[in-house]
Structure 1
């Protein structure tokens, strides 16, 4: 009996040592992960900021300076300072004479695989979208990722109509249609083989522009004192 008890005691001690070793390894691994994350976070954030800045200049050609804005509870733009956070990020682009070139707007929504983050450029003078960039996407390579590089799809955003009616609402909500079926300037010609992803872009932009274009146009009109001509049909 003593030998059996001895073996049980040894096994128990061995199990405790193994458990302690596993816990120790787990703690060390967790610390390494956290330390690595903390060390690389500033670089990741810097790279994201640089990519965003580059995208702003690309979706708003002619921009030399930018100003970040948020939207307050009254639906008005306010200038953001370093450290400020907002659910909706908007960047006004200015030319050499400090005139507004347009606004770059961040937006996001569900794609086929995951959330898609985009940036699009809005030119209030012509009431059109004039640029588009995908900031983050996990869409299927070779299919869904065509929203980032398919030329005919990107051409949709060189003059996509988002004009307002006299009641300060979009005359027509932006939508995606099947490839080859675009007939109106507010429609996005989709991508065969990437139907869900291209439709998602239409949904994201349609929702975002319906909410923000009236706000941005009013901000532009207020700062430029330019009366709006009627677009009612």
Structure 2
């Protein structure tokens, strides 16, 4: 009897070891499968992401049909990104079917209520105004903060939001600001949303910061941006 009782702990220990080894093996196989699926689907996911971005570009720049990505070099010069080249994109120039520049689409990021908000906005060089706005990434509260993506009244702000430069051409004549809902009086003001005050104010801050930085460069180099289409086609 004593011999039997002494063997039970050893048997239980052996069984537990085998179970742990089996679980470790299953975990390793699952990890390999996940890595395999991730790697094999990466090209497809990147392709879909690029297609979605192209659609967003033409959504925020009315009449845009074709686009060219531009990078910003250390000298502050916007240079077109050729096929196969890589670099951090500063903006996308959108052209019509005849190669006429319709505007530029610029990505901008800033802090929202829940997390970072990433947007794409369209800018018309001719009108000196923001003519489109699209939220690329957001984790704002469903039903409240996420209205920055879908509220039609709020999105109307970006059909013609003034972003005119001052006489020096180095900064906005009037900073873009978000005001309380129903208080908008100026073309450079964003009519905010009650219940989504922080999120709508964040959009104003994001656009103002990006416009102050990017629009002087865009306007100063608009001829180069226009000519880039012919040079690459």
Provide the TM-score with structure 1 as the length reference.
0.88
Corresponding position of 2:80: 79
Within 2, Cα distance between the matches of 1:14 and 1:119? 58
Per-residue CA deviation, residues 52-93 of structure 1 (Å, 9 max, x unaligned), is: 11111111112222111011122221111334130x431111
Per-residue CA deviation, residues 178-215 of structure 1 (Å, 9 max, x unaligned), is: 11111221111111111121111111111111110111
CA shift, 1:149, in A, is 1.6
- Segment drifting more, 93-102 vs 192-201: 93-102
Contact 2:166 2:172 in 1 (8 A): yes
CA shift, 1:112, in A, is 2.0
Within 1, Cα distance between the matches of 2:8 and 2:192? 72
Structure 1 unaligned segments of length 5 or more: list them. 226-233
Per-residue CA deviation, residues 141-184 of structure 1 (Å, 9 max, x unaligned), is: 22112111212211111111111113221122212111111122
Within 2, Cα distance between the matches of 1:195 and 1:40? 39
CA shift, 1:224, in A, is 6.7
What is the DSSP-based 3-state SS (H/G/I as helix, E as strand, rest coil) of the residue aligned with 1:134? strand
Within 2, Cα distance between the matches of 1:223 and 1:56? 16
Corresponding position of 1:138: 139
Calculate the aligned-residue CA RMSD, in Å: 2.0
Corresponding position of 1:231: none
CA shift, 1:138, in A, is 2.3
What is the DSSP-based 3-state SS (H/G/I as helix, E as strand, rest coil) of the residue aligned with 1:140? coil
Contact 1:102 1:124 in 2 (8 A): yes
Contact 1:100 1:220 in 2 (8 A): no
Question: How do residues 182-193 of structure 1 correspond to structure 2 at under 5 angstroms?
Answer: 182-193=184-195
The count of corresponding residues between Structure 1 and Structure 2 is 224
Within 2, Cα distance between the matches of 1:180 and 1:137? 25
What is the DSSP-based 3-state SS (H/G/I as helix, E as strand, rest coil) of the residue aligned with 1:109? strand
Corresponding position of 1:214: 216
What is the DSSP-based 3-state SS (H/G/I as helix, E as strand, rest coil) of the residue aligned with 1:121? strand
Within 2, Cα distance between the matches of 1:154 and 1:11? 66
Question: How do residues 156-171 of structure 1 correspond to structure 2 at under 5 angstroms?
Answer: 156-167=157-168, 168-171=170-173
CA shift, 1:5, in A, is 4.6
What is the DSSP-based 3-state SS (H/G/I as helix, E as strand, rest coil) of the residue aligned with 1:171? coil
